[in-house]
């Protein structure tokens, strides 16, 4: 970890008591859900991290609890630094506060995470599906989401595939 990043991390660690992980030069802070807005605002206002690069999520089902981690990458263009924030969430009703008021670009990222993982963002201005149809049931990037499977048709198995293949009514 270079000196600029060490200053940022030590300031956040002393203020919020965060767990710090470093792997191959990337610094990750484990942030409790109730502190994400304050940490993001501190990064923007006091340390010059002006750009939210992305928001995504990870599903660790069934191996680990907490089941979900919401992952934020935030960049300081002036200092050429990127920091990763991970927010662990319970799998039953995953919910975290929105960072949309700190980084307005979080709007669509959070909608995508909501749509694909079912994680709600409290206080979001327009939390609705963005990729899937509005009447879609479930969240496709969850590990417990049922996979649709269609056998690949080859010349040797064409008869078996055609027996099971759904066809429109004639």
Nearest alpha carbon to residue 81 among 12, 148, 165, 166 = 12
Average pLDDT along the chain: 91
Residue 47 · residue 41 · CB < 8 Å: no
Alpha carbons within 13 A on the beta-carbon side of 71: 11
What value does the mean pLDDT take over residues 126-147?
90
Domain with residues 3-164, CATH architecture: 2-Layer Sandwich (3.30)
| Residue 156: per-residue pLDDT | 82
pTM: 0.84
Query: 């089941």: which residue's tokens?
Result: 67
């Amino acid at each position: 970890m270079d000196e600029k990043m060490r200053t940022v991390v030590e300031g956040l660690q002393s203020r919020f008591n965060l767990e710090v992980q470093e792997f191959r030069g990337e610094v990750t802070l484990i942030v409790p859900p109730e502190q994400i807005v304050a940490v993001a605002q501190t990064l923007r206002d006091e340390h010059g991290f002006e750009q939210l690069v992305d928001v995504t999520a990870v599903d660790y089902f069934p191996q680990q609890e907490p089941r979900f981690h919401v992952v934020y990458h935030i960049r300081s263009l002036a200092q050429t630094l990127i920091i990763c924030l991970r927010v662990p969430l319970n799998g039953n009703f995953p919910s975290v506060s929105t960072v949309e008021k700190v980084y307005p670009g979080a709007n669509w990222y959070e909608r995508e995470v909501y749509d694909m993982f079912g994680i709600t963002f409290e206080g979001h201005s327009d939390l609705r599906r963005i990729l899937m149809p509005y009447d879609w049931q479930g969240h496709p990037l969850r590990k417990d989401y049922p996979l649709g499977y269609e056998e690949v048709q080859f010349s040797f198995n064409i008869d078996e595939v055609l027996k099971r293949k759904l066809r429109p009514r004639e």
